[in-house]
Amino acid sequence: MSESLSIKSHVGPYHVAFADDAVTLAAAVQDVHVIVDRRVAELHKGELAPLLSGNSVLQLEATEKNKALERMPEFVAELLKRGIRKDHHLLAIGGGIIQDITCFLSATLMRGIDWMFLPTTLLAQCDSCIGSKSSINSGDTKNIVGTFTPPSQVWISGRFLPSLDERDLRSGVGEMLKVHAIDGPASFDRLARDYDSLFSNPNKMLEYIHRALVIKKPFIEADEFDLGVRNVLNFGHSFGHAIEAATDFGVPHGIAVTIGMDVALEVARGIGMTGEDTVTRMRSTLRRNARGFLNVPVPMDRFLTALSKDKKNRGSGTATVVLPHSDGKIARSIQPVDERFRHLCARYFESASREHAA
């Protein structure tokens, strides 16, 4: 069993426990209002029974439509109907969508109510459960409203993972590959070697969930509000978000991030920032993780428009991206979105889909 972690935040430390009996531990908390992914509640109704039998359980579809500012009044009304008070707790059970909804409600309802988290997707377990962020959609714009509101407790149980679709597993692995790349070439190569065993060996998977959180921890502790060193965790994300937007979210987040890292390799090589050796070392694992999605058409005009609108950008005509350097270091870089940049991105998507088709 992996050791628990303690994460520092602006409101004090919170704990991440690796526990097969996560449900029993969560059920011991009094005055809890559960916000649960309907699919998870159905698939795991036996295991979750102690939590779902309480008198305040809100079952929601994990859709981007529900993760919207416009839906919040309805959720607030439901919680008020169930008698929520300021000294009560919210408990999120699900992936990043349920996390974002609960975290946002926790930040704003009565100016702050405690929240706890039982993540059920790999992405939420290995990445989003720590870091304090909530991101909510408004109108047509994804993740445009948000807060920094850490949970008071996270419980990670491997028991939820077997029911995930393979695409959602690989989406989580995309975030794992990202933090291991940031940790350095040796870390990335080790995960690349163990890639297959993640899917066949539950203990190996838990070991890497733990490692991913251990790697992420110092970045979010040093820069909880994402103003400096934490920016590097955006590796693969500016390109990834643009892929999600240009494909109408036809590519799951962590897979778009995987492809985004591959685009970053192409751009970094094209501008002479990194060499062929880095591309060769990382590309095959990234493409394995993104398989089945490499030939999803990505219209270049929509991709570049989304990239230029990314909320990390500072000036116009430039994109703030995170790129690999030749020594394996991953760092933030401001690039002009000029003819060369466009050409490198376009060349990437052409060659990736050609290779995929071959």
Ligand X SMILES: NC(=O)c1ccc[n+]([C@@H]2O[C@H](COP(=O)([O-])OP(=O)(O)OC[C@H]3O[C@@H](n4cnc5c(N)ncnc54)[C@H](O)[C@@H]3O)[C@@H](O)[C@H]2O)c1
* Span 8-67, contacts to ligand X by CB under 6 A: 37, 39-40, 43, 62, 64, 67
Q: Which residue, 259 or 268, has its beta carbon nearer to ligand X?
A: 259
- On whether the CB atoms of residues 299 and 292 are closer than 8 A, the answer is no
Q: Which residue, 84 or 245, has its beta carbon nearer to ligand X?
A: 245
Q: What does the alpha-carbon distance between residue 95 and residue 238 come to, in Å, rounded to a whole number?
A: 21
Q: Which residue, 247 or 353, has its beta carbon nearer to ligand X?
A: 247
Should residue 133 be labelled a site residue for ligand X when binding is judged by CB under 6 A?
yes
Q: What does the alpha-carbon distance between residue 106 and residue 91 come to, in Å, rounded to a whole number?
A: 10
Give CA 250 to chain center in angstroms.
16
Should residue 246 be labelled a site residue for ligand X when binding is judged by CB under 6 A?
no
Smallest distance from ligand X to CB 94, Å = 5
Among 5-13, 46-54, 96-104, 230-238, the segment contacting ligand X (CB under 6 A): 96-104
Rounded to 10 degrees, what is the CA torsion of 50, 52, 57, 62? 130
Q: Which residue, 120 or 274, has its beta carbon nearer to ligand X?
A: 120
Q: Which residue, 172 or 328, has its beta carbon nearer to ligand X?
A: 172
What's the one-letter identity of residue 233? Answer: L
Should residue 160 be labelled a site residue for ligand X when binding is judged by CB under 6 A?
yes
For the chain, the 3-state helix, strand and coil shares in percent, each to the nearest 5, are 55, 20, 30
Q: Which residue, 133 or 217, has its beta carbon nearer to ligand X?
A: 133
Instruction: Report residue 214 as tokens.
Output: 């251990």
Helix axes 202-222, 166-183, angle to 10 degrees: 50
Q: Which residue, 244 or 266, has its beta carbon nearer to ligand X?
A: 244
- Please select the residue that binds ligand X; options are 102, 149, 153, 171, rule is CB under 6 A: 171
Smallest distance from ligand X to CB 280, Å = 29
Secondary structure of residue 196 in the 3-state scheme = helix
* Span 312-341, contacts to ligand X by CB under 6 A: none
Q: Which residue, 130 or 268, has its beta carbon nearer to ligand X?
A: 130
Q: Which residue, 40 or 263, has its beta carbon nearer to ligand X?
A: 40
Smallest distance from ligand X to CB 72, Å = 15
Helix axes 253-270, 166-183, angle to 10 degrees: 40
- Please select the residue that binds ligand X; options are 26, 48, 100, 136, rule is CB under 6 A: 100
Among 129-137, 224-232, 273-281, 334-342, the segment contacting ligand X (CB under 6 A): 129-137
Beta bridge partners of 208: none
- On whether the CB atoms of residues 56 and 32 are closer than 8 A, the answer is yes
Rounded to 10 degrees, what is the CA torsion of 233, 235, 241, 246? 180
Q: Which residue, 194 or 226, has its beta carbon nearer to ligand X?
A: 226
* Span 175-234, contacts to ligand X by CB under 6 A: none
The residue with its CB nearest to ligand X is 96
Number of residues interacting with ligand X: please give it, by CB under 6 A.
30
Rounded to 10 degrees, what is the CA torsion of 175, 176, 182, 185? -140
Q: What does the alpha-carbon distance between residue 297 and residue 299 come to, in Å, rounded to a whole number?
A: 6
Smallest distance from ligand X to CB 285, Å = 20
Cβ partners under 8 Å of residue 199, min gap 6: 166, 169, 205
Smallest distance from ligand X to CB 64, Å = 6
Q: What does the alpha-carbon distance between residue 219 and residue 17 come to, in Å, rounded to a whole number?
A: 20
Q: How many CB atoms lie within 10 A of CB 6?
A: 10
Among 76-84, 98-106, 188-196, 256-264, the segment contacting ligand X (CB under 6 A): 98-106
Q: What is the DSSP letter of 4?
A: P
Should residue 95 be labelled a site residue for ligand X when binding is judged by CB under 6 A?
yes
Provide the binding-site residues for ligand X, judged by CB under 6 A.
37, 39-40, 43, 62, 64, 67, 94-100, 120-121, 123-124, 128, 131, 133-135, 143, 160, 163-164, 168, 171, 253
